[in-house]
Amino acid sequence: MKIYDGVSRRVGPILSSLVFCVACSCGDPEPSPGGGGLSDQFETTPEQFPIAAGIIDEASGLAASATMPGYLWTVQDSGQPNSLYLISKDGKTIKEYDIPGSNNHDWEEVAVGPGPDNGVSYAFIADIGNNNQPVTPTNTIYRIPEIKGADGSFSQSALQKITFSYPDGARDAEALIVDPVTKDIFVLSKELQGTNIYRLAFPQSTTDVSVAEKVGTVPGVLFATAATISRDGSEIMVRTYTNGFIPAVYYWKRSNGETVGQTLVKSANKTLTVALEPQGEAICFENENKGFYTLSEKGNAASVSLNYYKRK
């Protein structure tokens, strides 16, 4: 475990993106997520917490820890260590944890959610990108129980590998959702032709190569780079590089009795205003559902910040 402290660098001013709103209808059967009474209004100018350059320069996912309040997990993509990084919500402390037995071919997303053991919170590391050639015919999602304290470590004996292929050929993907209601895993492809939705139903095999089920396509969403679902399963967000050359975060409220797939095949309830970032590839809801966070790859920028958008 490596620990980095004392981050105090400021970032420059931010620019806001535009908002485009679309309507949504809802319906159909499955377990109820609940929590539908929250406001869908969020601040458009984030609180910013600088992240020191040289530690996490290629952040490709973000998830709120369920076992350590006040901390977020992130990963870096291809060419970076086989590590999870724990970031304090003020950005001042970063801890690096090796994931023994894993291989960072192209890690593009991290999520936190339930798994095979009831009452255990798992981290899901999605090796689903295509940065490294050749593009592999299968993809891996690493599942490992969250450590319960910042002084803990991850054990190779606890690491599980979910290996899967797509039913319609190899895909690039950077967005993952673990449904806290059903424990199903959803992968969203990163394409300019359309964002496809693929489902790995619970219980996922850790011994065989599974073929993901294609659920449908997310209407109006292109080039998806990250996704998140609220802890109670009632809200979903997908972020993209562009919405007419402008970064966008699409937001859905999931109706009672509706699956994640049934929610995402309908137009988003709204598109949220977010600040421009060098290369935005990470988003997550806060555990208490008071807002959401974004994080970016550094790209050509001097540094990045952890951005927090408070719910109104």
Using the 8-state DSSP alphabet, how is residue 158 labeled?
Answer: G
Q: Is the pLDDT of residue 8 over 60?
A: no
Structure tokens at 271: 């598109």
Residue 46 belongs to a domain with what CATH number? 2.120.10
- The structure's pTM equals 0.88
What residues does 195 pair with on adjacent strands?
A: 218
Q: Is the pLDDT of residue 20 over 60?
A: no
Nearest to 225 by CA among 103, 128, 147: 128
For the beta sheet containing 160-165, the strands, ordered from the edge strand earlier in sequence to the opposite edge, are 107-114, 121-127, 139-145, 160-165, 209-211
3-state secondary structure of 29: coil
DSSP H or E segment with residue 239: strand 235-240
Q: Is the pLDDT of residue 187 over 80?
A: yes
pLDDT digit string (tens) for 213-269? 999 999 999 999 999 999 999 999 999 986 555 779 999 999 999 999 999 999 999
Question: Among 32-36, 259-263, 306-310, whose mean pLDDT is lowest?
Answer: 32-36
For the beta sheet containing 173-178, the strands, ordered from the edge strand earlier in sequence to the opposite edge, are 173-178, 185-189, 195-200, 213-218
Residue 34 lies in domain? 2-7+15-310
What residues does 139 pair with on adjacent strands?
A: 164
Higher pLDDT, 184 or 16: 184
3-state secondary structure of 298: coil
Q: Is the pLDDT of residue 7 over 80?
A: no
pLDDT digit string (tens) for 89-115? 999 999 999 999 999 999 999 999 999
Q: Is the peptide bond before 180 cis (omega within 30 degrees of 0)?
A: no
Q: Is the pLDDT of residue 271 over 90?
A: yes
What span, in angstroms and rounded, lies between the C-alpha atoms of 58 and 60? 6
Q: Is the peptide bond before 81 cis (omega within 30 degrees of 0)?
A: no
Structurally, the chain folds into a number of domains equal to 1
- Per DSSP, the residues of 68-90 read STTEEEEEE-TTS-SEEEEEETT
What span, in angstroms and rounded, lies between the C-alpha atoms of 127 and 121? 19
